[in-house]
Amino acid sequence: MAKIFCVANQKGGVGKTTTTVNLAAGLALVGQRVLLVDLDPQGNATMGSGVDKRELVQSVYDVLLGEAGVAEARVRAETSCYDVLGANRDLAGAEVELVDLDRRERRLAEALAQVDAEYDLVLIDCPPSLSMLTLNGLCAAHGVIVPMQCEYFALEGLSDLVNTIKQVHGNLNPKLEVIGLLRVMFDPRITLQQQVSEQLKAHFGDKVFNTVIPRNVRLAEAPSYGLPGVVFDSGARGSQAYVEFAREMVERIQKL
Ligand code: ADP
Ligand code: MG
């Protein structure tokens, strides 16, 4: 049975897509069968996996509207060895079109159930909002991975997300839990970041992943080559951290 995780944070630019793409590649490297689902109409995770969003024949949009199965719509990220259920601008319309449909928040969950046996892990890259798309992700998932920068306002946004997760847990998906908070774009030379990092650990304990992802320009350069950093430059500090994070995830999953 596949374990399904959302990478979510309603803030933009906090490293969700970078985390989804590099974790997918890292997990594939350590031998896991991975499906990446892009739930953001920007399609950055699709492009960052080397799949051209403009050339998708079918996408997650068709799957949500029941016009295709995951098995038909997915494509292979060849170099990185994982599958991608891609997204493009079509998905921006899904929000409105879903309103009239039955069980509209369970569309992704039901579609993923069809390919459950084919994967060890499914990673869902969520858009920067708590929308119907994110809700579909949360209803499908066993857990949420929350990437965050150790900045002053980081904790503030977190409470909205935690409340949403609690509501989904209570009303729609009793198996949902926060798997962990991932510190990303970390710069240990900045005292404030160290302080916020300590606060996070004090407040959330072992819900904070041990792995810390450093700020590393190679991770930011990789998408323009259509590759996860982990594949683009495996020796870079950021890439090594994501592979370490993949190992940590595999360990955590065994305890779930
Ligand atoms: P989100 O999906 O949350 O909007 P992204 O993953 O797109 O965030 O990251 C936002 C920007 O920060 C991107 O330009 C990305 O390349 C860059 N970035 C993400 N993580 C790192 C990192 N560890 N080091 C350097 N740049 C990063
Ligand atoms: Mg993104």
80 pocket-lining for ligand 1 (C-beta < 6 Å) = no
Which atom of ligand 1 is found nearest the CA of 125?
2
Nearest-atom number in ligand 1 for the CA of 221 is: 16
User: Which secondary structure element, helix H or strand E, spans residue 161, and what is its range?
Assistant: helix 154-171
CA dihedral 72, 32, 14, 150 (to 10 degrees): 160
CATH superfamily for 3-255 is P-loop containing nucleotide triphosphate hydrolases (3.40.50.300)
Question: Residue range 82-91: average pLDDT?
Answer: 97
Closest C-alpha to 41, from 20, 59, 22, 57: 59
**Token reading at 1:** 């049975």
Nearest CA to ligand 1 atom 10: 13
Q: How confident is the model at residue 211 (pLDDT cuts 50, 70, 90)?
A: very high
pTM assigned to the model = 0.97
Query: Going by C-beta distance under 8 Å and a sequence separation of 6 or more, which residues neighbour residue 176?
Result: 138, 139, 141, 142, 143, 144, 165, 168, 169
Pocket test for ligand 1, best of 18, 21, 211 (most atoms within 8 A of CB): 18
pLDDT at 25: 98
Closest residue by Cα to residue 151 from 11, 44, 246, 17 = 11
Which of 8, 9, 24, 7 minimizes the C-alpha distance to 151?
9
User: Rounded to the nearest 5°, which phi and psi values hold at 108?
Assistant: -70, -40
Dihedral sign from CA coordinates of 147, 152, 158, 160? negative
Q: How confident is the model at residue 255 (pLDDT cuts 50, 70, 90)?
A: confident
Q: Distance between CA 79 and CA 63 in Å, rounded?
A: 25
Chain centre to alpha carbon of residue 209: 15
Say whether pLDDT at 130 is over 90. no
Better-predicted residue by pLDDT, 44 or 101: 44
pLDDT at 154 over 90: no
pLDDT of residue 103: 92
At 1-26, the pLDDT tens digits run 999 999 999 999 999 999 999 999 99
Q: Which two tokens stand for residue 88?
A: 């493009």
The whole-number pLDDT of residue 220 equals 98
Per-domain residue ranges of the chain = 3-255
Q: Is pLDDT of 249 > 90? A: yes
